[in-house]
Amino acid sequence: MMRSLIVRFSYSLLVLLVYAAGAVLVELVARGMRWLGVSDFTYYMLSGTAHVMLFMDVVLLIILLHNSAKKFLKSTQQS
């Protein structure tokens, strides 16, 4: 049981890291486009999207930690 919790947590953490990397990539693209001279609206829209993605990533991480802790505590109480 403990091994499956660790594997599930690792996979979930890997998915969240990939999602965070995507948000960083969007922010870097927004900054690169600013250098090219796109409108302020486009820059702020892309930058805002990156910030929302990072915020959602933090919320999902908190949910993941909460659920993993609950499952871990349930598994330790059963044994």
pTM here is 0.83
Give the Cα separation of 17 and 21 in Å (integer). 6
Cβ neighbour number for residue 46 with a 10 Å cutoff: 20
pLDDT in tens, 2-17: 888 889 889 999 999 9
Residue 22's pLDDT band (cuts 50, 70, 90): very high
